[in-house]
Amino acid sequence: MRGAVTFTWIALGAALGVACGAGSEPATVTPVALPAVSSTASPAPTPPTPAAPIEAPPEGPLGEAVRDAAAAALPPRDAATEVFLEAYALEKKRDLAGARRRYYDLITKHPGSAAIPQAYLAFGELFFAEAEADPSKRELAAQAYREVVKYPPPGNAVHAFALLRLGEGFARAHDGPNALSSLRKALDALAQHPGSPEAARVERAAVQGLVTAYAESGRPEAAAAFFRASHLDVPAALAKLIAEYRRIGDPRPTLVAASAALDVGKHPDLCREAGLAAREASGGADRAVAQAARDLEQKQRATCGP
pLDDT in tens, 181-196: 999 999 999 999 999 9
Q: For the residues 192-210, what does the mean pLDDT come to?
A: 96
Q: For the residues 236-246, what does the mean pLDDT come to?
A: 97
* pLDDT tens per residue across span 142-169: 999 999 999 999 999 999 999 999 999 9
Q: Is the pLDDT of residue 18 over 70?
A: no
Q: Helix axis angle, 116-130 relative to 159-172, nearest 10°?
A: 20
Per-residue confidence at 301, pLDDT binned at 50, 70, 90? very high
Q: Is the pLDDT of residue 27 over 90?
A: no
Q: H/E element holding 156? A: none
The pLDDT assigned to 12 comes to 54
CA distance 144 to 125: 9
The pLDDT assigned to 285 comes to 83
Mean pLDDT of the chain: 84
* pLDDT tens per residue across span 83-119: 999 999 999 999 999 999 999 999 999 999 999 999 9
Q: Is the pLDDT of residue 78 over 60?
A: yes
The pLDDT assigned to 49 comes to 39
CA distance 175 to 138: 12
The pLDDT assigned to 284 comes to 77
Q: Is the pLDDT of residue 44 over 60?
A: no
CA distance 173 to 62: 21
User: Nearest-CA neighbor of 82 among 40, 110, 117?
Assistant: 110
Q: For the residues 19-32, what does the mean pLDDT come to?
A: 34
* pLDDT tens per residue across span 215-235: 999 999 999 999 999 999 999
Where are the chain's structural domains?
1-20+64-179, 218-306
* Pairwise pLDDT comparison (292 vs 59), residue with the higher score: 292
**Fold observed for domain 1-20+64-179:** 1.25.40
Q: Are 249 and 48 in contact (CB under 8 A)?
A: yes
DSSP state for residue 131 in the 8-state scheme? T
DSSP letter for each residue of 3-15: TS---HHHHHHHH
CA distance 138 to 129: 9
Q: Is the pLDDT of residue 75 over 70?
A: yes
